């Protein structure tokens, strides 16, 4: 099957881009990562307060559930889109939509408007989420990929400290809307170097294409631009069915008790039954009618025919469980800290962000160790799992309101370190142990698995929180009070008399400990998956990367993370335009199944 024009452009990038172009693009990626991290920390800091102002703090998990559900369908769609039209075009589209979403959130006067902004945000953030790793895959070798992925996230550490402070200042002055309002400006400024670098290389390729007697990029045909073709290309029907099935399955647990009259109400039962029917319809559509299925390699990963695919499957499952542990344990954590410790939004965010700091720092270290010394990955997963179980167990103790902030910070940081130790080797493993035909789709599945896990985890947290908290409040809080405000409004809780406030603290503590216990059980599942994986060495896949090569860009074999629908193709090498070098698929290294057989 011929390569898509977007994939051809990436192949041609490698024949025309200079070292300066590559440095500009990667520097732009890092700057954009900083902007995205700044946005995440700013919004995290004010979300409990904003949702409290809008009377919806108890159902705030539904925001994350809906965004994660949409990202599940949008991530593979963006992968297909960037293969169809090119990296620069797809990145530009995602950044524009990203910025528009925050303009809507900045003017929101109701929770419904905030949700609309979040839905549009999902369309923009999905692009930036998947395109960053794809570009890193375009530019690096397998052995270097973990290190550069850690480097990509590293500079965002600054925002973990500064962003909550700025958000707190704006919140204290009643200017919380500017938290959202500054983000479109920030995205435009920080995204400019990346877009400049990508478009500069893209225009070089276009000029070369026009000069060729036989164009390398074929002009679009009427069939390629028609509506029916695009519907088939991105599997729009399958995407809609997937989003509907996830919404009808994961939103009822959050709203059943608080808004729909309980688990036995007609609305709850009807939504769950409709979700079951939609899942059946999705399976029928994807297996019998879809021209280009949303995730064509999924069935091969569910029922793998060899050790390579089996190892990739378990790597994806491990990363999904790590995401689910995070979603369950920290969905309401900043709210919990602001209530039980009377912490400011800034302090609560600092305590919560110990996880992210540990996660980022250890990624760079593990990526470097894997690249430079050990060339092995399995030992890191087992060490990480042990640290994760230990840290989540510590959190059950740290959730008590009389424990010190130091214990809370240590448990959070240790959990972040553990997750980082697990993430880098699992990601590299999933990408490395499959053939070129499957590598791009597995890369997309890593993100999709994380989105599904985040939506499931948020839904679980919302269900536990909204089911247990009202009962705990009734049992622990004496006197007269407004139950609906206690579970939805932080300011109201902080204004209660001491006896009632102490009862609220006991209720919130018990529910948060239950969430941590649930996360601990999930963390234990990772051990089962890790034991099922087969070991191999990263030296089996070492190929020169663009960053390792010389300025002349002579025939460099590089694994790219580009997603070609229906038949994912990974390019093995692209020759320099001034040479007669041909494609050599053997350059990518020995077959993984041979290595697994001798491991």
Residue by residue, what is the 3-state secondary structure of 479-525? CCCCHHHHCCCHHHHHCCCHHHHHHHHHHHHHHHHHHHHHHHHHHHH
Q: pLDDT confidence of 69, banded at 50, 70, 90?
A: confident
List phi, psi (to 5°) of 247.
-60, -45
Segment 169-178 shows an average pLDDT of 88
Instruction: Supply the pLDDT for residue 381.
Output: 86
Q: pLDDT confidence of 407, banded at 50, 70, 90?
A: very high
The structure tokens listed for 429 are 């493993």
Sign of torsion over alpha carbons 500, 502, 505, 510:
negative
Of the two residues 46 and 571, the one the predictor is more confident about is 46
Q: Give the CA diameter of the chain.
A: 85
**Helix, strand counts (H, E) of the chain:** 24, 0
Instruction: Supply the pLDDT for residue 596.
Output: 37
Least confident of 21-35, 149-163, 486-500: 149-163
Of the two residues 283 and 16, the one the predictor is more confident about is 283
Of the two residues 519 and 131, the one the predictor is more confident about is 519
Segment 440-449 shows an average pLDDT of 71
Q: Has residue 576 got a pLDDT over 50?
A: no
- Could you tell me which of 539, 572, 540, 579 has the C-alpha nearest to residue 558? 572
Say if residues 301 and 316 touch (Cβ distance below 8 Å).
yes
Contacts of 58 (CB under 8 A, 6+ apart): 258, 465, 466, 469, 487, 488
Decide: helix, strand or coil at residue 557: coil
Say if residues 120 and 97 touch (Cβ distance below 8 Å).
yes
Q: Has residue 431 got a pLDDT over 80?
A: no
- In angstroms, the CA 172 to CA 176 distance is 8
Options 3.40.630.30, 1.20.1250.20, 3.40.50.2000, 3.40.50.300; CATH for 1-212 is 1.20.1250.20
Q: Has residue 414 got a pLDDT over 60?
A: yes
- In angstroms, the CA 578 to CA 576 distance is 5
The structure tokens listed for 194 are 């990346």
Query: Under CATH, to which class is 296-538 assigned?
Result: mainly alpha
Number of residues written out for the chain: 599
How many beta carbons lie within 10 A of that of residue 582, not counting itself? 8
Of the two residues 147 and 90, the one the predictor is more confident about is 90
Q: Which residue has the tokens 């692209």?
A: 574
Contacts of 107 (CB under 8 A, 6+ apart): 113, 177
Please, is 96 exposed, middle or buried when counting C-beta atoms within 10 Å of its C-beta (0-12, 13-18, 19+)? middle
Say if residues 396 and 513 touch (Cβ distance below 8 Å).
yes
Say if residues 389 and 524 touch (Cβ distance below 8 Å).
yes
Decide: helix, strand or coil at residue 573: coil
Q: Has residue 579 got a pLDDT over 70?
A: no
Instruction: Supply the pLDDT for residue 14.
Output: 67
Helix, strand, coil % over all residues of the chain, rounded to 5? 75, 0, 25
Instruction: Supply the pLDDT for residue 551.
Output: 38
- Could you tell me which of 303, 317, 297 has the C-alpha nearest to residue 533? 317
Q: pLDDT confidence of 593, banded at 50, 70, 90?
A: very low
Least confident of 27-31, 234-238, 405-409: 234-238
> What is the DSSP secondary structure assignment for residue 275, as one 8-state letter?
H
Say if residues 463 and 33 touch (Cβ distance below 8 Å).
no
Segment 508-534 shows an average pLDDT of 90
- In angstroms, the CA 36 to CA 52 distance is 24
- Could you tell me which of 394, 385, 395 has the C-alpha nearest to residue 417? 385
Least confident of 37-46, 52-61, 404-413, 436-445: 436-445
- In angstroms, the CA 417 to CA 366 distance is 10
Average pLDDT, the chain: 76
* Model pLDDT for residues 74-93, shown as the tens digit of each residue: 877 777 777 677 788 888 99
Segment 189-214 shows an average pLDDT of 80
Contacts of 307 (CB under 8 A, 6+ apart): 534, 593, 596, 597
> What is the DSSP secondary structure assignment for residue 296, as one 8-state letter?
T
The structure tokens listed for 334 are 């900043």
* Model pLDDT for residues 337-350, shown as the tens digit of each residue: 999 999 988 888 88
Percent of the chain at pLDDT above 70?
73
The structure tokens listed for 556 are 């460099």
- Could you tell me which of 451, 453, 153, 463 has the C-alpha nearest to residue 322? 453
Q: Which residue has the tokens 């070492």?
A: 542
Sign of torsion over alpha carbons 495, 501, 507, 510:
positive
The domain spans of the chain are 1-212, 236-291, 296-538
Percent of the chain at pLDDT above 90?
18
**Run of H or E including 209:** helix 177-211
What residues form DSSP beta bridges with 556? 574
Instruction: Supply the pLDDT for residue 3.
Output: 43
Instruction: Supply the pLDDT for residue 565.
Output: 28
The structure tokens listed for 382 are 């087992």
Q: Strands (DSSP E) along 74-168, which ranges?
A: none
* Model pLDDT for residues 464-502, shown as the tens digit of each residue: 998 899 999 999 999 888 888 888 788 899 999 999 999
* Model pLDDT for residues 104-122, shown as the tens digit of each residue: 999 988 888 888 898 899 8
Instruction: Supply the pLDDT for residue 440.
Output: 58
- Could you tell me which of 279, 313, 250, 282 has the C-alpha nearest to residue 457? 250
* Model pLDDT for residues 240-249, shown as the tens digit of each residue: 888 888 888 8
Domains 1-212 and 296-538 share a fold: yes
Q: Which residue has the tokens 């300025």?
A: 551
**Exposure pattern of 327-348 as b/e (b: 16+ CB <10 Å)?**
bbbbbbbbbbbbbbbebbbbbb
How many beta carbons lie within 10 A of that of residue 105, not counting itself? 23
Segment 153-157 shows an average pLDDT of 73
Decide: helix, strand or coil at residue 377: coil
What residues form DSSP beta bridges with 574? 556
Instruction: Supply the pLDDT for residue 451.
Output: 78
The structure tokens listed for 23 are 């440095």
Instruction: Supply the pLDDT for residue 546.
Output: 42
Q: pLDDT confidence of 558, banded at 50, 70, 90?
A: very low
């Amino acid at each position: 099957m011929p390569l898509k024009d977007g994939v051809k452009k990436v192949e041609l990038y490698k024949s025309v881009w200079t070292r300066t172009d590559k440095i500009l693009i990667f520097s732009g990626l890092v700057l954009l990562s900083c902007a995205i991290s700044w946005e995440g920390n700013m919004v995290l800091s004010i979300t409990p307060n904003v949702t409290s102002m809008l009377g919806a703090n108890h159902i705030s998990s539904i925001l994350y559930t809906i965004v994660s559900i949409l990202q599940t369908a949008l991530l593979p769609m963006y992968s297909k889109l960037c293969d169809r039209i090119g990296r620069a075009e797809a990145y530009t589209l995602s950044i524009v939509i990203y910025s528009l979403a925050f303009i809507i959130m900045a003017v929101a006067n109701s929770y419904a408007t905030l949700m609309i902004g979040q839905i549009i945000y999902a369309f923009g953030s999905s692009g930036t989420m998947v395109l960053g790793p794809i570009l890193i895959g375009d530019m690096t070798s397998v052995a270097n990929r973990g290190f550069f992925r850690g480097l990509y996230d590293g500079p965002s550490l600054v925002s973990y400290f500064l962003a909550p402070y700025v958000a707190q200042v704006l919140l204290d002055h009643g200017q919380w809307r500017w938290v959202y309002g500054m983000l479109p400006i920030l995205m435009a400024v920080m995204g400019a170097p990346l877009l400049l670098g990508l478009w500069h290389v893209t225009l070089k390729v276009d000029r070369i294409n026009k000069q060729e007697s036989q164009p390398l990029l074929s002009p679009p045909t009427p069939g390629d631009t028609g509506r029916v073709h695009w519907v088939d290309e991105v599997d729009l029907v399958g995407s809609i069915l997937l989003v509907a099935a996830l919404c009808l399955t994961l939103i009822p647990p959050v709203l059943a008790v608080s808004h729909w009259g309980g688990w036995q109400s007609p609305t709850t039962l009807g939504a769950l039954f409709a979700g079951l029917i939609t899942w059946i319809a999705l399976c029928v559509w994807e297996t019998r009618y879809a021209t280009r299925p949303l995730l064509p390699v999924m069935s091969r990963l569910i029922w793998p025919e060899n050790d390579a695919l089996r190892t990739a499957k378990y790597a994806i499952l491990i990363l999904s469980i790590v995401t689910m542990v995070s979603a369950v344990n920290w969905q309401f954590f900043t709210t919990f800290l602001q209530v039980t410790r009377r912490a400011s939004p800034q302090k609560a965010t600092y305590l919560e962000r110990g996880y992210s700091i540990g996660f980022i720092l250890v990624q760079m270290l593990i990526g470097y160790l894997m690249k430079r010394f050990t060339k092995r990955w399995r030992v890191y997963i087992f060490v990480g799992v042990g640290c994760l179980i230990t840290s989540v167990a510590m959190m059950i103790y740290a959730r008590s309101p009389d424990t010190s902030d130091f214990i809370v910070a240590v448990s959070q940081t240790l959990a972040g370190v553990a997750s980082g130790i697990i993430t880098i080797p699992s990601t590299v493993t999933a990408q490395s142990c499959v053939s070129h035909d499957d590598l791009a789709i597995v890369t997309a599945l890593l993100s999709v698995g994380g989105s599904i896990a985040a939506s499931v985890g948020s839904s679980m947290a919302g269900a536990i929180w909204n089911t247990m908290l009202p009962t705990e409040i009734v049992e622990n809080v004496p006197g007269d009070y407004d139950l609906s405000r206690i579970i939805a409004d932080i300011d109201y809780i902080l204004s209660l008399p001491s006896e009632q406030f102490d009862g609220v603290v006991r209720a919130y503590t018990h529910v948060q400990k239950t969430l941590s216990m649930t996360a601990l059980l999930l963390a234990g599942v990772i051990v089962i998956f890790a034991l099922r994986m087969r070991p191999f060495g990263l030296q089996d896949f070492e190929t020169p990367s663009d960053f390792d090569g010389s300025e002349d860009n002579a025939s460099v074999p590089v694994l790219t993370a580009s997603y070609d629908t229906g038949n994912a193709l990974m390019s093995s090498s692209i020759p320099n335009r001034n040479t007669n070098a041909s494609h050599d698929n053997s350059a990518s290294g020995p077959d993984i199944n041979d290595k697994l057989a001798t491991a």
